[in-house]
């Protein structure tokens, strides 16, 4: 399927999810996850109007970054090894996978400006998923406050691949609630206004529960 056809379908679904939850599609940033696809296919996505791209490995990101000069925003969405931070930190617009203090420290050391970061949370408790346990998030953000170049703009989660929408909904609700709790703490450098949640399998439910950033790969470009 061409990307334009896929995007039309996704936009229609976003519209319906917004209508159900009294939201406006303008509140949702669609991140096109291009980790599976070529530079050509990525350019096709850009030509349909996609302005935010997501990559999950530093090599894949750098390859795309170096070959694409369109005005797009880059989101780093995968596990980031500390030794790779210096290669990507000043090139990305946001890192969605802040999951440990050593990573915050390295970002702070290597960045030349404040970096927008999402704290990754393992809401579902699955062992295979990266991210902090929900109860560790506030203490973690308090620790991160000593790193001036790390700005916690939101929370991110990856839900397990479930067909059961109500279980998915429970996961997204918990992340939304956690965001509220963080916001109430009024921590420096942690406005925590965004929720990066929802992928091809579950973005409609995520939007209904407050997602501001959805990360779509296979349904859009894959
Ligand atoms: C691959 C990936 C996505 C996109 O997944 P799809 O199911 O293909 O939409 C979103 N977020 C993260 C962190 C990913 O690694």
Domains and CATH numbers, the chain: 54-211 (3.20.20.10)
Secondary element (H or E) of residue 210 = none
Summarised one tens digit per residue, pLDDT across range 71-97 is: 999 999 999 999 999 999 999 999 999
Q: Which residues contact 10 (CB under 8 A, 6 or more apart)?
A: 30, 203, 216, 219, 220
Where does the chain have alpha helices with state H? Answer: 3-20, 39-47, 58-67, 85-88, 101-110, 137-144, 165-185, 203-208
* 78 SS3 class: coil
Residues in CB range of 174: below 8 A, 6 or more apart: 123, 134
Supply the mean pLDDT for the chain.
96
**What was the pLDDT predicted at 40?**
97
Does the model's pTM come out above 0.85? yes
Closest-lying ligand 1 atom to the alpha carbon of residue 56:
15
Give yes or no for residue 126 having a pLDDT over 80.
no
Cα 71 to ligand 1 centroid, rounded to whole Å: 22
Phi, psi of 53 (to 5 degrees): -120, 145
Q: Which residues' Cβ are closer than 6 Å to ligand 1? A: 33, 35, 56, 77-78, 158, 199-201, 215-219, 222
What value does the mean pLDDT take over residues 149-178?
96
């Amino acid at each position: 399927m061409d990307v334009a056809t896929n995007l039309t379908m996704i936009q229609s679904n976003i519209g319906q999810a917004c209508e159900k939850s009294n939201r406006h599609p303008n509140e949702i940033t669609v991140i096109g996850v291009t980790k599976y696809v070529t530079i050509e296919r990525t350019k096709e996505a850009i030509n349909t109007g996609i302005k935010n791209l997501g990559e999950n490995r530093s090599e894949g990101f750098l390859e795309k970054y170096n070959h694409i000069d369109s005005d797009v925003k880059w989101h780093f969405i995968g596990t980031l090894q500390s030794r790779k931070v210096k290669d990507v930190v000043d090139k990305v617009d946001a890192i969605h996978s802040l999951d440990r203090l050593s990573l915050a420290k390295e970002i702070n050391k290597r960045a030349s400006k404040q970096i927008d970061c999402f704290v990754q949370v393992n809401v579902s408790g699955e062992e295979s998923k990266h991210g902090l346990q929900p109860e560790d998030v506030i203490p973690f953000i308090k620790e991160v406050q000593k790193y001036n170049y790390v700005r916690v703009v939101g929370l991110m989660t990856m839900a397990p691949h479930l067909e059961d929408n109500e279980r998915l909904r429970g996961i997204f609700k918990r992340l939304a609630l956690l965001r509220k709790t963080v916001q109430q703490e009024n921590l420096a450098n942690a406005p925590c206004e965004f929720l990066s949640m929802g992928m091809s399998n579950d973005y409609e439910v995520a939007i209904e529960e407050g997602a501001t950033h959805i990360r779509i790969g296979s349904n859009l470009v894959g």
